[in-house]
Amino acid sequence: MENLSQAPTLPISSRAYAKIILFGEHAVVHGQPAIAVPLQALSAHVTAEASPKGSGLSISLPHSPELIYLHSDNPSVGQTLRHTAKLTLERLAIPEPDLKLSLHSNIPMGAGFGSGAAVSTALVRALCAAIQAPLTNETLNALIYDIEKLYHGTPSGIDNTVIVYEQPVFFIREKPIESFKIHTPFNLLIARVDYATPTYITVGDVRTLYESQPQQTRQIFDQIGAIVHQARHAIETGSIPSLGPLMNQNHALLRQLTVSDENLDRLCDAALQAGAWGAKLSGGGRGGNMLILLPEEPALRPKIENALLQAGASEVFFTSIN
C-alpha cells in the first residue's frame, strides 16, 4: 500500500525568477496600475537537504563558509533569510526541522530585479516542499509581501506578486491580481549601471514630493496611470512599435518625480539616437537598470548595445518578453 505520509526524497530544489517592471513604477505605490513581467534569464534556487537529527535549520549562502542557523545569536548575518524561514514555520505552526537550505542566485542584489522577493520565494518553496506543507500562491504571496514590508518600507507588492505567480501582471495595489496575454513577443535590452539607490529612498523622496506639491504630483501619477493602460492595450494587441513612445513618456514623467539621474537620461538618449524604439528606467531609479525597446531590424541591436556601453552602461543584456 502507498504510504501517503512518506517524507519527500531529499534533496529537493525550488526556484523563483526575477522580475522587471515595464511601466508604472512609483505611481503604483500611490494607487496607479503598473505592468511587470517575470525575467527568466535571472533566478534564485534553494536546495533543501536533510541535516543530522537535532541540528535544526541552517541556511548556506553562496561564497560563504558560515552557515546561518535559525536560532543563531549573530543578528547581522543573513537576517532576512533567517527571518523568512522563521516566519514560514510560525505561520504553518510547524516545529523547526533538521534541514540545510542552500541558496544560489544569479540575480544582482539591489538592482531592481526583485532579488529579495525571489530569494525569499525560492527559500519558502524549498522549505515547504521539504516539510510537506504546500502553500497556495495566495498564502505564499501574502507571506513574501510581509517580508518585503520589513525590509523595503512601503512596497506596493508588485515584486512579490509577479515573482510568486510567474506571470505578466497588471498590478493595482490592494486589488485582485490581473494577468494578461502578450499578443506578440517583443525584444528588450536591459542596461545596468554600476550603482543603485535603495528603493525605500526614492519611494520616500516621491512621497515627500507628493506631500509638498500634492496637485502637480497627483497629475504626474495620473499621467503615468494612463500610459500603463495604453501600454497594456498595445501589448495585448501586438502593437509593439507604439510601446516605444509610451516608454519615453513614462521616463520623462519619472524624471519629473526626481527618480532619474543624468546617467540614466544619457543612456536613454544614446539608445534612442542609435535607433531604439523607446527607453526608460525600470524600478526604483537613480541607478539600477533601464529598459530599451529594440526595433525589428536585428542589425540595430549591436549598434544600440554599443551606444549604451559607450554612454556608461556597466552591462547590457538581451531578453525577449513572451
Question: Which C-beta is closer to ligand PMV: that of 118 or that of 129?
Answer: 118
Query: Which residues are identified as catalytic?
Result: 159
Burial class (CB within 10 angstroms; exposed 0-12, middle 13-18, buried 19+) of 260? buried
Could you say whether residue 30 binds ligand PMV (CB under 6 A)?
A: no
Dmax (CA) of the chain: 70
**Alpha carbon distance 117, 44 (integer Å):** 10
Binding flags for ligand PMV, 182-201, as an x/- string (CB under 6 A): -----------------x--
**Alpha carbon distance 174, 176 (integer Å):** 7
Could you say whether residue 29 binds ligand PMV (CB under 6 A)?
A: yes
Question: Which C-beta is closer to ligand PMV: that of 55 or that of 258?
Answer: 258
Q: Which of 57, 159, 255, 286 binds ligand PMV (CB under 6 A)?
A: 159
Could you say whether residue 21 binds ligand PMV (CB under 6 A)?
A: yes
Give residues 101-120 in contact with ligand PMV (rule: CB under 6 A): 112, 114
Part of the chain binding ligand PMV (CB under 6 A), chosen from 20-28, 37-45, 69-77, 230-238: 20-28
Could you say whether residue 274 binds ligand PMV (CB under 6 A)?
A: no
Q: Which of 26, 100, 280, 301 binds ligand PMV (CB under 6 A)?
A: 26
Question: Which C-beta is closer to ligand PMV: that of 235 or that of 290?
Answer: 290
Could you say whether residue 253 binds ligand PMV (CB under 6 A)?
A: no
Cα–Cα distances (Å) from 163 to 101, 178, 201, in that order, read 20, 14, 22
Question: Which secondary-structure segment (H or E) carries 271?
Answer: helix 262-273
Provide the 3-class DSSP secondary structure of residue 275. coil
Binding flags for ligand PMV, 59-98, as an x/- string (CB under 6 A): ----------------------------------------
Q: Minimal CA–CA distance to 222: which of 25, 10, 32, 14? A: 32
Question: Which C-beta is closer to ligand PMV: that of 12 or that of 201?
Answer: 201
DSSP string, 186-235: EEEEEEE-S----HHHHHHHHHHHHHHSHHHHHHHHHHHHHHHHHHHHHH
Could you say whether residue 225 binds ligand PMV (CB under 6 A)?
A: no
Size of the site for ligand PMV (CB under 6 A): 15
Task: Give me the residue whose beta carbon is nearest to ligand PMV.
Answer: 283
Only one residue has cell 542596461, namely 191
Q: Check whether the bond before 11 is cis (ω within 30° of 0).
A: yes
Q: Which of 60, 88, 102, 156 binds ligand PMV (CB under 6 A)?
A: 156
**Alpha carbon distance 42, 118 (integer Å):** 10
Q: Which residues lie across from 34 on neighbouring strands?
A: 171
Residue 48 φ then ψ, to 5°: -105, 130
Question: Which C-beta is closer to ligand PMV: that of 24 or that of 97?
Answer: 24
Give residues 282-311 in contact with ligand PMV (rule: CB under 6 A): 283-284
Binding site for ligand PMV (CB under 6 A): 21, 25-26, 28-29, 112, 114, 155-156, 158-159, 199, 203, 283-284
